[in-house]
Structure 1
Amino acid sequence: MTQQDHSVSRPRTLQDLLGIEAPVVLGPFGGVSSVALTAAVSDGGGLGSYGLYGYDGGAIRKTAADIRAATAKPFALNLWVPTGSEATDLPEAEFDSYVRVLQPYFEELGIPLPEMPARYMPDYGEQVEATLEAAPAVVSFVFGVPASEVVEEAHRRGIRVAGTATTVDEAVALEAGGVDAVVASGMESGGHRVSFLRPAEESLVGTFALVPQVADAVSIPVIAAGGIADRRGFAAATALGAAGVQVGTAFLATRESAAAPAYRELLHSPAAGTTVLTRALSGRLARGIPNRVTAELAAPAIAPFPVQNWLTGRFRPQAAAAGNTDLMSLWAGQAARLVRHHTAADVLAELLAGS
């Protein structure tokens, strides 16, 4: 079937599907999402999103309530699907060996070394239950296809479901799983590579190769993500068959985001023009601006996910508070040099100028 055939057969626009005015979705940030930015994008007519990685049920309910207090418009909540590869039962001796690798960073920041926790992540079932109870307009998933019973319950509650694909095969799997829209996330995207059918290193397809192939392969709306920061990216994505765009880095650089001031300044600097794919901060492949941690840590000294993410999460907040960008996660996409604006409203206006 041709791309033209697909566009004709789609029953509704992304705006109609999600109840929004503009086909722009805020990328959900793990750790640096903010109520203010989510609300600002939703109030501007797009779909504000909030990443729930690390949140337990109580935190999810509070966050949803806070967003609702800040905006009456539709918003999305985002969850990570367990892949089954998570290292949740690491022997204590092995845990201690990874702590010793990171010891210089803890000492530099004056933080005591962490002890092995009872668990590294909240229970996924608890997260799903709380998210569905919160009833956002959209629940989005990364790292896999949500279970059929989750999709069915979301639909029963009137919640739209979106999934994220890094390859055509993943997009097809998501459509077969019943999601309402698919985010086609190219390798240019900042943050984690959310591949789930093949290793992330084998799923590095560029956005503008991925989007038209996904648009040809599925009949649900496709949201383009990766390398989009201005009107030109918006226009190119829609020309290739996308029903809308998802943007992360340009919004992350705004005053409404929860990124530390030093991080936002870096996103507005020439340093943001260079990004690397690294497992150093979390144990999973992610794209960000290089710093000391990404330069100094390499396998086999990097703990598996989620252990590495939990361990570096013991010092990253203190580094952010101190403005020490060498010891932070500096997730950024390859279009970071195009970052120009300091408010969510200005980013939205720039993107929509390409419509």
Structure 2
Amino acid sequence: MGEQVTRIGIVGTGVISGTYLDHLAKLPGVEVAAVADLDVSRAQTVADAHPGVRPLSSDDLLADPDVDVVLNLTIPAAHAPVHRAALEAGKHTYGEKPLAVDRAEAKPLLELAEAKGLRIGCAPDTVLGTGTQTARAVIDRGDIGVPTAASASFVTPGHELWHPAPEFYYQPGGGPLLDMGPYYVTSLVTLLGPVRRVTGRAGRSQDERKVHTGPRAGAIFPVDVPTHVTGILEHESGALTTVLMSFDVWAARLPRIEIYGTDGSLSVPDPNAFDGTVEIATAAQREWTEVPVAGGYAGAGRGVGVADLARAIRTGGPHRADGALAFHVLDVLESLLEAAAKDQPVDVTSTVERPAAVPLGASPETA
């Protein structure tokens, strides 16, 4: 086993783990060593399909000296407890979004990681791909002048139409804002910088929903979170972003993300994807035109943030999808829900530096 390989232990072998396993196998500097799940048979099945990966109990994985980083792919309610257990076991940790279900759970994780000299990272790492990073390069070059506003929209009729066990999407830590909002707000912070104040409204169309697929099709479950959230994010730069996140919309024609500047506008691709076409329209050229790729990890997939973290561990440099960014994004999202509940603007008390841009042609092993 090479000295420069960072060994990953995955806790949680649900739907998303397959994507991580597929992409981590292709990335330099990382190797999946073990998997664990409350359902021992599921962990065994995953291990059987990936030679060299050992199925362990969660406790054994956390204690395993051959695991350097714990990849936390549990449901949102378990994110903070698993992160804490990993840090207390002396492991670096990286997890799916959100970092925790709320700021009260999340902040002690950052404090614990700092106290122990360990790293904590968090999805989404989609912003490290060529889509958002090309848009970042366009903005940083000044091609649309000074960004003054943006719009961001995600709408769907609900994940219960395709997910066989969708309940967690409608429990604290879920809903459209905490499920999909991290992709959008992380991209917006990467492009426009941190947020200082938010205003919002929230509601829900149904108190119960129905599973549509899988062995539990027809089962009814409660909705415990808002399923339609809209609001305004005021960035520290002064730019204003209008956001709409909903599980209550059957169809719509809305941009994923658009950035509006003094000299032009920028169309940013789906922040839940790593690539996609970036388009620009300017005062001089009103027609939308495609922007050549100008940054980002090419061909990236879920797990590139883990590889970026692993490289930072080896070199001592910063990693991009870090805990401070994830905490600020969670702070923005929770503040938006608070603003909706209070019917008044809420100041976002945290801030963060924009993570370093990913240069064109970079590899997560070296940049």
Fold match by TM threshold 0.5:
no
TM-score for the superposition, normalised by structure 1: 0.35
Indicate the structure whose relative CO is greater, using CA pairs within 8 Å and at least 6 residues apart: 2
> Which structure dedicates a bigger proportion of its chain to helix?
1
> Which structure dedicates a bigger proportion of its chain to strand?
2
Give 1 or 2 for the bigger CA radius of gyration.
2
